[in-house]
Amino acid sequence: MALPPILQNLPLPIIGSPLFIISNPKLVIEQCKAGVVGSMPALNARPAEQLDEWLAEITETLAAYNKANPDKPAAPFAINQIVHKSNDRLEHDMALCAKYKVPIIITSLGAREDVNAAVHGWGGVVLHDIINNKFAKKAIEKGADGLIAVAAGAGGHAGVKSPFALIQEIREWFDGPLALSGSIASGDAVLAAQAMGADFAYIGSAFIATEEARAAEAYKQMIVASDSDDIVYSNLFTGVHGNYLRGSIEAAGMDPDNLPEGDVKTMNFGGGSAKAWKDIWGSGQGIGAIREVVPARVLVERLAREYQAARRRLALG
Ligand SMILES: Cc1cc2nc3c(=O)[nH]c(=O)nc-3n(C[C@H](O)[C@H](O)[C@H](O)COP(=O)(O)O)c2cc1C
């Protein structure tokens, strides 16, 4: 199956993934201008009314950029909607996405037919994130256009599956748009995701260490200084298993090697988990590749260089 037109001919097969609290219009705009799909969670706009201003800023800035650069237009942008029942802003935020005809909606934590139908109503594309093949089938049955396979080692809420297993199982029955998420932070890994059968690499943690990211300086520096040994997988902080920086757990006075179990009933994405994410810093395992804090454009340029070099090394042109 061909990719939807909006996802065809991107300069790089990369989606900058949504990061709770951290993604903001400046980061999204720089990602898109650099040639990767930029995204942010709708919930990052607080209060909710701010989403209107943010969507206006992104839409107008990218339209002006495309007018000035018709030969090298920006990549499209995406908004992430948490469709879990604890998100009491969903209706409000979806109405604003309809107003601005947001080209791509990324849905997380549940699959909803009404949300998918609404996005299709304004000509948008829905990508839904999943951690196993069962959820993948359910998402497509409910009308999502594409999937984001969140494998082991991803930042934030992550699965436990090897990317090889997950992509292979999904590709047995699904030939639509498929992104791979989890520990991708080099151009070589982007090419590997494609070789495995994915269309796109979905990259989160690497963008935390960018100048535009709305993260504390100490958080950015901890990403730079850490590697996969410093990532702890726990369900304590939101009720759902995710990957976090060991140093931030220690700084909060807890022993990362002896964390109690969390409770899924405490899961709350309408704002309740914001405090946890402010103090306990999420990150995937791929951050060994992150050596400095740079503008998002510079990070994308590095990924592009490495991706092209990997293609040449494998004689792929
Ligand atoms: C700090 C942080 C916050 C995140 N917040 C969200 C979010 O709000 N919504 C979402 O769908 N995914 C969220 N994610 C998951 C990412 O979108 C993506 O799946 C993941 O970062 C990819 O793995 P990587 O970090 O190893 O690149 C978050 C990840 C991190 C590290």
Which domains are present in the chain?
5-214+285-316 (3.20.20.70)
Q: What is the pTM of this model?
A: 0.96
Q: What is the C-alpha to C-alpha distance for residues 190 and 206, in angstroms, rounded to an integer? A: 13
Peptide bond between residue 41 and the one before it cis (omega within 30 degrees of 0): no
What b/e string do you get for 186-199 counting C-beta neighbours within 10 Å, with b at 16 or more?
bbbbbbbbbebbbb
Q: How confident is the model at residue 268 (pLDDT cuts 50, 70, 90)?
A: low
Mutation test residue for ligand 1: of 14, 15, 20, the one with most atoms within 8 Å of CB: 20
**How far, in Å, from the CA of 142 to the mean position of ligand 1?**
23
**How far, in Å, from the CA of 312 to the mean position of ligand 1?**
30
- Does 17 score more than 70 pLDDT? yes
- Does 277 score more than 90 pLDDT? no
Q: What is the mean pLDDT of residues 246-261?
A: 93
What is the model's pLDDT at position 275?
63
Strands in 231-234's sheet, in edge-to-edge order, are 156-157, 242-245, 231-234
**pLDDT tens digit sequence for 94-134:** 999 999 999 999 999 888 999 999 999 999 999 999 999 99
Query: Helices 163-171 and 187-196: crossing angle, nearest 10°?
Result: 40
Q: Across the strands, what pairs with 39?
A: 78
What is the model's pLDDT at position 187?
98
What is the model's pLDDT at position 274?
55
Mutation test residue for ligand 1: of 37, 80, 115, 157, the one with most atoms within 8 Å of CB: 157
Give the number of other CB atoms < 10 A from CB of residue 176: 16
Q: What is the C-alpha to C-alpha distance for residues 224 and 286, in angstroms, rounded to an integer? A: 11
Q: Give the number of the atom of ligand 1 that is nearest the alpha carbon of residue 150.
A: 19
> What letter would DSSP give residue 111?
-
Q: What is the mean pLDDT of residues 216-240?
A: 96
- Does 270 score more than 50 pLDDT? no
Task: Tell how far CA 219 is from the center of its chain.
Answer: 18
